[in-house]
Amino acid sequence: MSPRITDQPLIHSLLDTDLYKISMLQAFFHAPEFRTVSVEWKFACRNDHGFDLTTLREDVQWQLQQVCSLQFTDEELDYLDQFPFFTHDFIEFLRIFHLDMRFVSLAVVEGQLDIRFRGPLLHVTLFEICTLAIISELHTLAHYGGVDLDVARRRLEEKIDQLKAPGPMPGFHFADFGTRRRASRAWQEEVVCRLHEALPDYFTGTSNLDLARRYNLMPIGTMAHEWFQAWQAVTRLADAQKAALESWVREYRGRLGIALTDCYNMDAFMRDFSDPYFGKLYDGLRHDSGPPIEWGEKAIAMYQAMGIDPLSKTLVFSDSLTFERMLEIYQYFNGRVQVSFGIGTMLTNDIGQPALNMVIKMVAANGKPVAKISDEPGKSMCEDAGYLRYLASVYDIELNL
């Protein structure tokens, strides 16, 4: 066995994850449809930059073993309990919760790092963020020798100056969404603290619950693709998106009301969402793939068709953002709709070296394939091409495979 890249655990808390992982876990916990559902998740890297990620396998396994020794502390549970959308029975479930290596498979398949999580939905979903964060930080350590703080800090200050340069920007807000692809845990923490100090009028918080708790920041997030994907396995496929939207309303009753639009695509989403019932209950929409301006125009037109003032809703942009792109989108939509931004890789992994573009997505539930299609070719993820074509036909989507 080769020496470990680091002997230090990279994840210190089960709260070192995104808010939407915990909010979705509660929704799954309460929904009777998911009490016995088993799932499979798969790791995929879209750009390894020529590095052999298989060399990280043993280190990833050791790091996940350390994660599986963690439990939520009383202080962390007291923190979650202060939010009105988390329920006491769910908090008590978390009190006895821990992750389990029995559900983890790490292998090398055809020269690629193959990571799978197979087991009960409630007991595997929290592996996603911590595993991605572990791989990203191990990559930084093994292939770049860690974060060059001089370079990283200079680039961060340039971003801060970039947002200060235009003068006051009413209604401009952004948050850190960078946990899963951070260069390191310590660097994400420094970034968040610096932005909170330097840009208090613009920086609204972080998706990372551990950082939000320790620095008294606003935790930000609602739902992700897994929420919509899982419904494909427990209801009629044509009803899956509506069922996901309706169940979220039952669980949170208007709270955490930003709906993700691209598990299928924006046009399919609008067909299911274009009911004033959803339009009024949800606070807004999140963009995660496809041309953002075109998507925003569709959202505004949809709200206008429902008789809803777009300025009463928020569009959250979170796909492949840079600071330049955030400013362009803000300037385009300013005065027409509220906009907000969640920026990830180019915030917490802009360190002068290429970052990995990687995901872990659900690929099966109850032994059946599930999929996301999205508004951008190349972001679709499914291991069953026949099912993907069927899904596309049900939701009237033209595939670009």
58-94: per-residue pLDDT in tens? 999 999 999 999 999 999 999 999 999 999 999 999 9
In whole angstroms, what is the distance from residue 284 CA to residue 310 CA? Answer: 9
In whole angstroms, what is the distance from residue 41 CA to residue 364 CA? Answer: 7
Sequence length of the chain is 401
**CA proximity to 172, closest of 313, 299, 326:** 326
C-alpha dist (Å) from residue 94 to 40, 256, 353: 22, 20, 37
In whole angstroms, what is the distance from residue 21 CA to residue 124 CA? Answer: 11
pLDDT higher than 80, residue 401: no
In whole angstroms, what is the distance from residue 106 CA to residue 369 CA? Answer: 21
Q: What is the mean pLDDT of the chain?
A: 96
When pLDDT is cut at 50, 70 and 90, the band that residue 260 belongs to is very high
Contact between 392 and 259 under an 8 Å Cβ cutoff? The reply is no
Which tokens hold the place of 222?
Answer: 């609602």
**CA proximity to 10, closest of 57, 66, 56, 52:** 66
pLDDT higher than 90, residue 46: no
Place of tokens 């979650």: 80
Which tokens hold the place of 292?
Answer: 């953002």
Average the pLDDT over 268-287 and give the result. Answer: 95
Q: Which residues of 211-247 are buried (b: 16+ CB within 10 A; e: fewer)?
A: bbbeeebebbbbbbbbbbbbbbbbbebeebbbbbbbb
3-state helix/strand/coil string of 247-258? HHHHHHCCCCCE
Average the pLDDT over 43-51 and give the result. Answer: 91
The vertex-220 CA angle with 289 and 30, nearest 5°, equals 90
In whole angstroms, what is the distance from residue 398 CA to residue 179 CA? Answer: 33
* Least trusted range by pLDDT, from 185-199, 295-309, 311-325, 375-389: 375-389
The vertex-65 CA angle with 118 and 121, nearest 5°, equals 25
Tell me the per-residue pLDDT of 118-151, one tens digit each, with 9 for 90 and over: 999 999 999 999 999 999 999 999 999 999 999 9
The whole-model pTM stands at: 0.97
Strand 358-365 relative to strand 38-45: parallel, antiparallel, unpaired?
A: antiparallel
Which domains can be identified in the chain, with CATH numbers?
19-145+355-394 (3.20.140.10), 150-348 (3.20.140.10)
Residue-level pLDDT at 35: 92
In whole angstroms, what is the distance from residue 237 CA to residue 113 CA? Answer: 32
Contact between 61 and 107 under an 8 Å Cβ cutoff? The reply is no
In whole angstroms, what is the distance from residue 278 CA to residue 39 CA? Answer: 28
In whole angstroms, what is the distance from residue 307 CA to residue 217 CA? Answer: 35
Tell me the per-residue pLDDT of 191-236, one tens digit each, with 9 for 90 and over: 999 999 999 999 999 999 999 999 999 999 999 999 999 999 999 9
At 86, which amino acid appears? F
Three-state SS for 47?
coil
DSSP, res 29: H
Task: Compute the chain's Rg from CA coordinates.
Answer: 20
Tell me the per-residue pLDDT of 333-386, one tens digit each, with 9 for 90 and over: 999 999 999 999 999 999 999 999 999 999 999 999 999 998 987 778 899 999
